[in-house]
Every structure is written in C-alpha cells, then in structure tokens.
C-alpha cells in the first residue's frame, strides 16, 4: 500500500505552530485524580533543542503541587484514516504517566467519554518501566471496565532513544505500529456500531505528561523534573 504525506511537524522552528497546536490548561484531576496543573509556559514546554519537549515539575501552581504540559491538535488538525506516526523519547520516574493519544472530535462537542472513542498510540506509567500500552477504548470496552482492546510491548530503551509510535487506520480496523513494524491489529465486528467501534469519525491528537493519578501512582519528587521529547509527527493518506 502506498502513502502520501499530508502533514508533518518536526518542531524545529523554535515556536509551537499555533495554526496546528493548542495548549490545554487546568488542574482538576481529569477524571483520574491526577496531581498536575497543565500550563502553557516555557518552564513546561521547550523547543530550544530542535524538538518539542514537555516537562513535568514539582512546582506549586493554582493549588496543585505539580505542573506539566498538554498539547492537542484540536480544532486545527483532525485525523481520520491513513497512517499516523509520532517519534518520541519518553519521560521516566515513578508517578509519571505520559501518553500520545487521540480523542474523537465529538468529545469537544458534548459527547462524553468513552462514547467519543479513544486511541492510545502510546501510554506508559513510570512505575512499570519500559512497558508500553497500545489501546482502543469505546463505550462497550474501556479501561474502567478492564475490557479495553489493548496490547503491551516491552522496549528496553524508551528513555534513551526515540521510537516511532504509530497506527494504520482504516474504517474497519486499526493496526498499531512500533518503529514501522506492525505489532497488533484490532478489527471492527460485522455488526458493531459506534458503541463498540467509534473510530469512523475525525479524531484529534494529544501529547501530555500526567503526574500521579489512578494509574500513575505515587510521585517520587526526586525523579522530577521529567521530560518527554516529541521529535516529529507525520500523517499520511493511502493513495
């Protein structure tokens, strides 16, 4: 199958392209009892080294004990089918919970999670080093029920070198990729609706480092600050 490059950002211009990316802010726990406040400030986001760096810190702000960063492509850049890849070096440390993931656009229009759908290109928790999770969440299958569609890989050097996290997305299946290789596929059943398969609509991309929370667990302050480096995002359409 041939692909045509539709969009790419290598974050090498020294500034976040605000025609593509939006900073999300807040510190309300995000439904997971997380401890960070997301800010748009340079001490949590840096582009001085030729790539995008998100930084989680021990820092009091707005009644939260920690700060971090969260960037999304909504509303400017939406994705539906094709191949999406993100090259990243992950943060380490107990209590870190980084993710590269997507939510259905309709989440911003009032549809609740998990009916909106969630695609996790990469999810990791620092208390389980080197274990990477690739998952799909829907109204019928999601992590609060423990029945999400998911796959786990062990990668020994996720903190030292960049890896390519991606997917090939078609209307009836999603195949997750690691460093360009197919690792697992999930298929839409013949009679499934948006309750089981909400992945026939536009989604937006999210990068963040959560700290603590229901899965991140206890935060080890001596492991902070911690850094997630996003080196590029590439999006292709089948031709």
Which two tokens mark 63?
A: 């009644």
- Nearest CA to 151 out of 134, 129, 173 is that of 134
CA distance 216 to 101: 16
107: left (phi over 0), alpha (psi -120 to 50) or beta: alpha
- Only one residue has tokens 């089948």, namely 238
- Only one residue has tokens 């690691």, namely 178
CA distance 116 to 108: 9
Among residues 59, 85, 123, 194, the one annotated as catalytic is: 123
Active site residue 123: yes
Active site residue 192: no
Burial degree of 129 (CB within 10 A; 0-12, 13-18, 19+)? middle
Burial degree of 11 (CB within 10 A; 0-12, 13-18, 19+)? buried
CA distance 116 to 199: 9
Exposure string over 91-128, b if 16+ CB within 10 A, otherwise e? bbbbbbbbbbbbbbbbbeeebeebbbbbbbbbbbbbbe
- Nearest CA to 24 out of 83, 115, 107, 113 is that of 107
Q: What angle do CA 23, 171, 145 make, to 5 degrees?
A: 65
Among residues 118, 156, 160, 192, the one annotated as catalytic is: 118
Catalytic residues: 118, 123
């Amino acid at each position: 199958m041939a692909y045509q490059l539709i969009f790419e950002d290598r974050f090498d211009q020294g500034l976040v392209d605000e025609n593509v990316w939006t900073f999300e802010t807040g510190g309300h726990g995000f439904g997971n009892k997380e401890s960070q406040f997301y800010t748009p400030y340079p001490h949590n986001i840096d582009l001085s080294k030729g790539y995008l760096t998100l930084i989680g810190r021990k820092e009091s702000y707005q009644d939260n004990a920690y700060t971090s960063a969260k960037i999304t492509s909504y509303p400017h850049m939406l994705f539906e089918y094709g191949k999406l890849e993100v090259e990243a070096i992950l943060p380490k440390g107990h209590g870190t919970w980084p993710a590269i993931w997507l939510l259905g656009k309709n989440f911003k229009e009032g549809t609740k999670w998990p009916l909106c759908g969630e695609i996790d290109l990469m999810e990791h928790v620092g208390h389980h080093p080197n274990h990477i999770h690739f998952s799909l969440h829907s109204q019928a299958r999601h992590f609060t029920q423990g029945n999400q569609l998911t796959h786990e890989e062990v990668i020994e050097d996720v903190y030292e070198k960049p890896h390519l996290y991606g997917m090939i997305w078609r209307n009836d299946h999603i195949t997750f990729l690691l460093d360009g290789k197919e690792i697992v596929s999930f298929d839409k059943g013949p009679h499934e609706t948006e309750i089981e398969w909400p992945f026939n609509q536009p989604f937006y991309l999210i990068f963040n480092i959560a700290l603590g929370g229901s899965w991140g667990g206890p935060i080890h302050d001596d492991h902070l600050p911690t850094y997630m480096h996003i080196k590029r995002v590439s999006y292709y359409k089948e031709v």
